[in-house]
A and B are shown apart, each in its own frame.
Chain A
């Protein structure tokens, strides 16, 4: 382009008109890109923070997911759900607590109708969620088969580390009528395959699995050590330690060859657990499978042997044989033994099968027969999630249904005569009355009234779990409330003695940790009030401490409400000639109490959390249940699962309550009316 040729020297310093001004294209200012730019990558610091935050979050979530799906033992929750909810209360309490539960649903429905609106969309979402709670377990049960069980047959002892598993020829299990058991012979090709046999397994096959996994790990470790020694990334101390390690470790021979794990014909005999009659007798050959159908619910005994080879071990996979929980308790003066299948809660009562000598036969107990190794997602769904939702769905559905019914019924009643002066007035009155009825009703139902069949007195020692937590919280709040009002009035009183006494009480009880008061109630209340001594009365003694404690805090809340009132209110009342107590009763208190509703809800939340301290003085509230379960033999040390579960329960309750409090505050119904 000859026309556009210019002298080179000038090129840098002269702006030409034919060259349009060049600017960066404008940054997108709408849409997701702009949102991300503004909220995540605004500056260099922002970018670093975002990356760090994302890494933290991803790490956290993936850790929690892999742990809860792969390794966590959620049986500690699904098997103790009742303990978590109501503790060890007597069985006759069940209908009473159910009734109370549904009554609270009615209360919730009426209150929602009176004070807020639940949109139809929200009801639809709730219904969908509940439906999902029914459908998901059903889908899981239909689509995902339960995991297999590994059984070893043979006459050799198997050793892994310090653990030696002895052969078990006869093993007892429980199963239901018309169930089918399928046996197959498994031949692991090498140790790696043996180490991957993750599922329910008996002692021998589990020890084989562990031995193989340990052998692979030590092999791997030696490779690592050799590679480290070859490089120059070790300090002198480390090098010496590694060399010693290399010298002292010997990798054992492959497990599957040294124990001759393979496919040998296995003779199987199935007997009835009660009569010892033979149901089936046969031999399973490698490659074949064997299906047996069981006649009835109850105990069975399986005998397995590798007939003509004492040194070899055969591995069997079985479907339909699952581990069993055993419980024993006293019912009407007699000890009852209960056995429950872990996978579907099939229950068998009565004695276990015994051998000829009268000793209990080994059974597929949950302790020796747990799920071993990392769990795949499918097994998590079929073993843990499905059964858990199955237990939860009915209660939640009932609660929601009753709440919805109460909600729509009260709205319909309200709309039927819409000619009220103040809309919703009658409904709101009804809602308040319902509250006033609920609390005594709850106490009546929980405590009981007589020793006869009607509303039998329940044993307070057996209250526990969420029930005890809620009882303690509600009692402490309800009883402490009037005391708190009196204390607040006393502290504001012009009478110096009354004011000083109230102030002293409030400051002392607020300055001392609750746990001190709880211990005091356990150790000292019995001296002051001998009628409250003894272990039966422990919940009542704790209540005394909680009441005294929360009265001081409530007094400060109420005092705050009283102070928030404009002085004109009292002055006007005085000008009208009202006597002092009537001013308090009719003018100041009602307004002050309305103003402190959010603070009261806050107090309820903190008291709800603080009741966990009663665990330390030996009561079995929600936190105590978590500790109790971790001390059961089947769930020894499973504190992660239980603590996470109760933390979720506490979290749900507290955050729902704080949401309510926030809504009350936002709606302004708490504010004093000037």
Chain B
């Protein structure tokens, strides 16, 4: 210990100037002033050079050019945009396109990432390793290369619009009525077997009986179908060779199930299977097995071709607004029910089926509204153009003749919403339906899949961060798997997941600017076009930077709010 140093030695010595200079606070202020001077000086010199250069080239930055005519078309733009619109409007179109990709992308990437993240922890070796390979492959290759692959390889390998891949494919499927029967029977059996009072023998007998009934009936039906409806295979032919043989076999099997030759657990199964097969043979023999099938014609709803994706469009008709008022009412009631029942539970300690009641409160007004809105009859006549002049025609006739435009249909239809299927003209161009360009699909798919790999790792880490004892304790309390996930694992995992998830959301929104690599008209691509045409690069970059900073800020604010909520709930 050096306590013999007099304290006075530590005080600054000398005159005022020297003392002032030795004061750390003064030094700090001086240092900062110097820093500002240097920074401003450097910026001033660089900015001056740039300003001079720009002035020499006649490119003084202004915002006035935003009012000028843009003169370029954008393949993916709303109706109000054309080459006659201004640069400002072009920029807005780009902004809308960015927001479209980012908003769809965030949701899809989260869902996909959640699934892959859970698969990464699967007990199934194959699934676990496939998802591990998925994550590693996607994380370790550049996003731009992935976008190129999706665009130049996948999108370009789709067929021409004439031979577009259609989902469902156009054609005819036969739905056997027996399938409906089996499904119903199976459901009933499943509900019955779920009861705790059913003992082993009965359960096994019923299971095997149902299995045998299904199998043998289908075999007989297959024989009928394969061999034609000749005598032995005709349903309702009574006791024929196949049915007789089956009955003999099943009677023997039943006797075997009664005897002691088989091991104990196999006996009820044998008895059940025998009865099932016997029933199948009798049903078939006496024509009680439904052999008919429904002929269902399917027409395409989704088209995938080299020109992009087309899907059915959901349009709001003229009656949407009044219906939406009913829906709004439902939302209000549901919110009220939710809060009121929550209070009741807190006051009385009685649990209520809050979720179900809320759903009911949502659905009943919506359904009621749907019916009430549709009560008003549509106009009987409608003006249509025919041979160059407008004439009033009965609505049904006009609809049959295909004279109604989309606007007419939206005005006259009695439902509040209209699902419009895609339709093509003779040259394959789509007249109706929601179209997505291949550029947008490639960008969206690449962004979603790339980000999902990172989200999957975050989800995996989050779930692994929940101590295993918590899960075991939950099991010990008798929670079901779903309850365990909802009440124990997820709240704690989300606390770990949300902060890095926010980072990935920011990355996705920034990465959407790679659209320029494949020419999707997002904010950045349109701005680069604007800059190339108008020469206003400084202003253009400023606009892009502000846009992306604002987008980042928005996402950060949202994620911070979510984060606060989860931290509060768990602590």
- Whether A528 contacts B142 in the complex (CB less than 8 A), given A513-B524, A516-B544, comes out as no
How far apart are the CA atoms of A513 and B546 in the complex, in Å? 11
- A325 interfacial contact with B, CB 8 Å: no
How far apart are the CA atoms of A24 and B127 in the complex, in Å? 30
Nearest CB in chain B to that of A613: its residue:
B144
- B297 interfacial contact with A, CB 8 Å: yes
- B23 interfacial contact with A, CB 8 Å: no
The answer on a CB contact under 8 Å between B145 and A650 is yes
- Whether A530 contacts B124 in the complex (CB less than 8 A), given A233-B171, A650-B142, comes out as no
B124's partner among A39, A515, A615, A658 (CB-CB below 8 A) is: A39
The answer on a CB contact under 8 Å between A235 and B170 is yes
- A99 interfacial contact with B, CB 8 Å: no
Chain A 484-500, CB-CB to B under 8 Å as 1, else 0, gives: 00000000001111100
- B548 interfacial contact with A, CB 8 Å: yes
Identify which of A50-58, A160-168, A200-208, A313-321 touches chain B.
A50-58
- B53 interfacial contact with A, CB 8 Å: yes
Which residues of A495-526 have CB atoms within 8 Å of chain B's CB atoms?
A: 495-498, 501, 508, 511-516, 519-520, 523-524, 526
Q: Whole-angstrom distance from the CB of B467 to the nearest CB of chain A?
A: 21
Q: Which residues of B contact A643 (CB under 8 A)?
A: 145, 148-149, 152-153
Q: Which residues of B contact A646 (CB under 8 A)?
A: 145
How far apart are the CA atoms of A655 and B136 in the complex, in Å? 8
- Grouping DSSP codes into helix (H, G, I), strand (E, B) and loop, the B interface class, with mixed when no group exceeds half, is helix
The answer on a CB contact under 8 Å between B126 and A57 is yes
A497's partner among B32, B46, B123, B127 (CB-CB below 8 A) is: B32
- Grouping DSSP codes into helix (H, G, I), strand (E, B) and loop, the A interface class, with mixed when no group exceeds half, is helix
Q: Which residues of B contact A627 (CB under 8 A)?
A: 148
Interface footprint category on B = 35 or more
- B160 interfacial contact with A, CB 8 Å: no
- Whether A57 contacts B130 in the complex (CB less than 8 A), given A237-B170, A512-B545, A639-B153, comes out as yes
The answer on a CB contact under 8 Å between B32 and A496 is yes
How far apart are the CA atoms of A526 and B299 in the complex, in Å? 58
B548's partner among A516, A523, A650 (CB-CB below 8 A) is: A516
A647's partner among B145, B171, B549 (CB-CB below 8 A) is: B145
How far apart are the CA atoms of A508 and B516 in the complex, in Å? 21
A498, A512, A646, A655: residue with the most chain B Cβ atoms closer than 10 Å: A512
The answer on a CB contact under 8 Å between B35 and A527 is no
Chain B 13-40, CB-CB to A under 8 Å as 1, else 0, gives: 0000000000000001001100110010
- Whether A616 contacts B516 in the complex (CB less than 8 A), given A513-B510, A524-B50, comes out as yes
Q: Which residues of B contact A529 (CB under 8 A)?
A: 46, 49
- B80 interfacial contact with A, CB 8 Å: no
The answer on a CB contact under 8 Å between B125 and A516 is no
The answer on a CB contact under 8 Å between B545 and A516 is yes
Q: Whole-angstrom distance from the CB of A645 to the nearest CB of chain B?
A: 10
The answer on a CB contact under 8 Å between A50 and B124 is yes
- Whether A650 contacts B517 in the complex (CB less than 8 A), given A53-B127, A498-B32, comes out as no
How far apart are the CA atoms of A523 and B536 in the complex, in Å? 11
The answer on a CB contact under 8 Å between A523 and B531 is yes
- Whether A511 contacts B548 in the complex (CB less than 8 A), given A497-B36, A650-B145, comes out as yes
Q: Which residues of A contact B517 (CB under 8 A)?
A: 615-616
Q: Whole-angstrom distance from the CB of A232 to the nearest CB of chain B?
A: 7
How far apart are the CA atoms of A493 and B54 in the complex, in Å? 37
- A478 interfacial contact with B, CB 8 Å: no
B141's partner among A512, A519, A654 (CB-CB below 8 A) is: A654
- A280 interfacial contact with B, CB 8 Å: no
The answer on a CB contact under 8 Å between B148 and A515 is no
The answer on a CB contact under 8 Å between A495 and B130 is no
The answer on a CB contact under 8 Å between A515 and B524 is yes
- Whether A40 contacts B125 in the complex (CB less than 8 A), given A497-B35, A512-B549, comes out as yes
- B412 interfacial contact with A, CB 8 Å: no
How far apart are the CA atoms of A646 and B528 in the complex, in Å? 28
Q: Which residues of B contact A616 (CB under 8 A)?
A: 144, 514, 516-517
Which residues of A606-658 have CB atoms within 8 Å of chain B's CB atoms?
A: 609-610, 612-613, 615-616, 623, 626-627, 630, 639-640, 643, 646-647, 650-651, 654-655, 658
How far apart are the CA atoms of A513 and B509 in the complex, in Å? 9
- A571 interfacial contact with B, CB 8 Å: no
- A42 interfacial contact with B, CB 8 Å: yes
Q: Whole-angstrom distance from the CB of B374 to the nearest CB of chain A?
A: 30
- A46 interfacial contact with B, CB 8 Å: yes
Q: Which residues of B contact A238 (CB under 8 A)?
A: 170-171
- A49 interfacial contact with B, CB 8 Å: yes
The answer on a CB contact under 8 Å between A650 and B141 is yes
- A128 interfacial contact with B, CB 8 Å: no
The answer on a CB contact under 8 Å between A508 and B538 is no
The answer on a CB contact under 8 Å between A528 and B263 is no
User: How many A-B residue pairs lie within 8 Å, measured between CB atoms?
Assistant: 165
B36, B136, B144, B517: residue with the most chain A Cβ atoms closer than 10 Å: B144
B142's partner among A50, A501, A609, A630 (CB-CB below 8 A) is: A609
Chain B 513-547, CB-CB to A under 8 Å as 1, else 0, gives: 11011000000100010010000011001001100
- Whether A234 contacts B172 in the complex (CB less than 8 A), given A56-B130, A527-B49, A639-B153, comes out as yes
The answer on a CB contact under 8 Å between A613 and B514 is yes
Chain B 165-203, CB-CB to A under 8 Å as 1, else 0, gives: 000001110000000000000000000000000000000
- A22 interfacial contact with B, CB 8 Å: yes
The answer on a CB contact under 8 Å between A501 and B152 is no
Which residues of B260-277 have CB atoms within 8 Å of chain A's CB atoms?
A: 263-265
Q: Which residues of A contact B538 (CB under 8 A)?
A: 524
Q: Whole-angstrom distance from the CB of A541 to the nearest CB of chain B?
A: 14
Q: Which residues of B contact A623 (CB under 8 A)?
A: 142, 144-145, 148
- B333 interfacial contact with A, CB 8 Å: no
Which residues of A31-52 have CB atoms within 8 Å of chain B's CB atoms?
A: 38-40, 42, 46, 49-50
Chain B 299-316, CB-CB to A under 8 Å as 1, else 0, gives: 100000000000000000
The answer on a CB contact under 8 Å between A50 and B126 is yes
How far apart are the CA atoms of A515 and B544 in the complex, in Å? 11
Q: Whole-angstrom distance from the CB of A403 to the nearest CB of chain B?
A: 23
How far apart are the CA atoms of A54 and B124 in the complex, in Å? 12
A57, A516, A523, A605: residue with the most chain B Cβ atoms closer than 10 Å: A516
Which residues of A427-452 have CB atoms within 8 Å of chain B's CB atoms?
A: none
The answer on a CB contact under 8 Å between A527 and B145 is no
A235's partner among B50, B127, B172 (CB-CB below 8 A) is: B172
Q: Which residues of A contact B570 (CB under 8 A)?
A: none
Q: Which residues of A contact B32 (CB under 8 A)?
A: 495-498
Q: Which residues of A contact B126 (CB under 8 A)?
A: 39-40, 49-50, 53-54, 57
Q: Which residues of B contact A494 (CB under 8 A)?
A: 28
The answer on a CB contact under 8 Å between A654 and B140 is yes
- B363 interfacial contact with A, CB 8 Å: no
A238-B170, A651-B140 given; 10 more Cβ-contact pairs under 8 Å: A40-B124, A57-B130, A498-B32, A501-B35, A512-B548, A530-B49, A609-B142, A612-B143, A616-B517, A654-B141
Q: Which residues of A contact B (CB under 8 A)?
A: 22, 24, 38-40, 42, 46, 49-50, 53-54, 56-57, 232-235, 237-238, 494-498, 501, 508, 511-516, 519-520, 523-524, 526-530, 605, 609-610, 612-613, 615-616, 623, 626-627, 630, 639-640, 643, 646-647, 650-651, 654-655, 658
Q: 6 nearest interchain CB pairs?
A: A654-B140, A39-B125, A612-B142, A609-B142, A513-B513, A527-B50
